[in-house]
Each structure stands twice: as C-alpha cells, then as structure tokens.
Amino acid sequence: MFKKYIPHPTRREFFALFLLAAEIILFSVFVPNFFHPVNFARVVQNNTEIAIISIGMTICMLLGGIDLSVGAVMGVVSVVTGNMIQRDMNTLLIILAAAVIGICVGAVNGVIIAKFHIPDMLTTLATGNIWKAVIFGLLGGKWLTSLKPSFRGITTMKVAGIPVLLFLVLGIYAVFYYIFMYTRFGRHIYAIGCNENAARLSGINADRIRLTAYCITGALAGLTGLLYIARMGSVEMTIGSTTAIQCIAAVTIGGIGAKGSGMRGSVIGTLAGVFFIGFLKNGIVIMGIPSLLENFFIGSLMIICVLFDSLSVMRRARKGVTGEEGQT
C-alpha cells in the first residue's frame, strides 16, 4: 500500500551501527562492569533527552539547516513547568503547557527562517541566547529544587529489567521512521535537502515544510524539558547548555553531515549516534579518563564523518560532470 522513499539503510548508517557495536564490544572487554544491565540502564536514562531532541535535529539537518536553540527551549519549558509543579497544578495542564511553549518557540524560529530567509544558524543562535536570558530571569539566579512531578516514575520504571524510557525512545523513533519513509512529509524533507530549487519547481512548499520541521523540533524539546525534570528533580541555571552540540554530534556521526547529502540518512543512524556518544561518555567516566578527552574523541569523529560526507558529495558531483561530458 505504501512505498518506501529510501528502501534500505545507507552505508553511513551501517557505519554508525558498526561503530556502536565495536565500541560496546571494546568497552565490555576493557572496562569492568560495563556490560552490566544496571550500567546499560543508566546510559539509557542519561541520554533520553538527547535521543528525543536529536530527532528534531535530524529533520533540520536533512533540510540543510540546524537548530542551535534546542537546549535553551528545553530549559525554558523546564523552568515554566517546574514552577507549575511547585504550585501543584494539574498534570495534563503541565504537559499541554510544555507542548504549546515548545511548538510556539519552534514556530518563531521557523517563521524567521522560512519567511524572512534569515540563515538558520544565525536565527537559532540569536533566539537561543534570548531564551537563555529568559531562563535567567525566570529563575532569578536560583535553582528550582525538590521537584516531584506525578510522572516522575517513568524515569525509573522497568519492564522485565528494561527501562521504560528505552521503550519510549524506541516508540518515538519508530513513529518518525514511519514518517520519514512512508509519508509525503518525509519525502518532501529528503527532496528539499537534496535540491531545494528542484523541490520548489516540482510544487513542494519548502517554506511550510521548514516551518513544520522547526515546530516539531520545538515540541520535542518541550517534551524533553518534562523528562529532564522527572529525571533530575531540579532545574539549574546552565540547563541545556551542551544539548545542541551533543545532538549535532549524534546526527553527524549517524550519517547526516555535509550539506548536499539530504537524500541520505534517517533516524536509524541518529539513534546509533546518540548511543555511541552515550556509551563513550559512560566508558570514559568508568575508566577515570579526563572528560576533556571525551570532547576530543567526539570532535575528532565529527570531523572525520563530515570529511567523509564532503568527499562523497564531491565524488558524486565529479562523476556527474564526467558523465555529462561523456554524453556530449
């Protein structure tokens, strides 16, 4: 009934899955208790927010854009809903507020980028700084602590020894995999990322797709704000300060990097990238290696992946030129 737009994972996604498998095997051999179920559950719990926001980052980067404000959006939602929790407000109202704030903030980014054609990096960097100032103003220099939302149990519950958060993450990824592979919206994302001018000429409303993408990213950031409160029970001033770079790293390692490669990659690679970084950070902590080396490894791998993607794009372009010359 439905037809896939991309029939199978790309080589870059297989490479990301290979990196993840090799990392787990390597750490299991050299790091004590790394393969223990408790440690795996800890990695899942600590990377749930990054995993969910990375879906939105995947959409933005497939479109040839980026969102540097996701961490600040998560922070604003956490502060607002944290204050609502302190006032013992209705849980459904809190969840609705998180969704509405996330979507509205994402819409602001989308309108500025799509309608006024301001570069996405500049736009989201600016709005991210604005929301950071809002966070500071709402907190007044103080942390929100001792937050106990009614949905807090979702971060610690397990089914057959498996964290419920893992089922949540896999469920959200399954939904977006379906959207990417089987829906018109998904096909339009890949088409715009591959060649926006050609997509526009074929009748695709690129501005509307881009606006929708940033609204989805904002909504996902809002959801993670709630999960962060449920997991941590507090909101600090620096919340979300490294979220954007972690998401970009996960998406890049997962196979979506160089501009012009919009036809490649999906949430499969992104999920592999998220857990590759999560297990890397976990293994480094257990081994007692300085955290600066963690940033060195992640940054180096990002450069290698982007370089690989750029060379692939250049090689395909060269083949295209050679083919045209051969026909003439």
Q: Give residue 220's Cα distance to chain centre.
A: 9
Q: What is the pLDDT along the chain (328 residues), one digit of tens a residue?
A: 344 444 456 777 888 899 899 999 999 998 888 888 889 999 999 999 999 999 999 999 999 899 999 999 999 999 999 999 999 999 999 999 999 999 999 999 999 999 999 999 999 999 999 999 999 999 987 888 888 888 888 888 888 888 999 999 999 999 999 999 889 999 999 889 888 999 999 999 999 999 999 999 999 999 999 999 999 999 998 999 999 999 999 999 988 865 544 456 789 999 999 999 999 999 988 888 887 788 888 888 888 888 877 777 677 777 765 554 444 4
**Cα–Cα distance measured from residue 125 to residue 83, given in angstroms and rounded to the nearest whole number:** 26
SS3 228: helix
SS3 167: helix
- Beta carbons within 10 angstroms of residue 295's beta carbon: 14
Q: Give the start-to-end residue ranges of the domains of the chain.
A: 11-314
Q: Which residues lie closer than 8 Å to 122 by C-beta, 6 or more apart? A: none
What is the value of pTM for the model shown?
0.90
Q: Which of 189, 147, 179, 148 is nearest to 4 (CA)?
A: 179
CATH architecture of the domain with residue range 11-314: Orthogonal Bundle (1.10)
Query: Both tokens of residue 28?
Result: 């299991």
Going by the DSSP 8-state scheme, the letter that residue 233 receives in this structure is S
SS3 235: strand
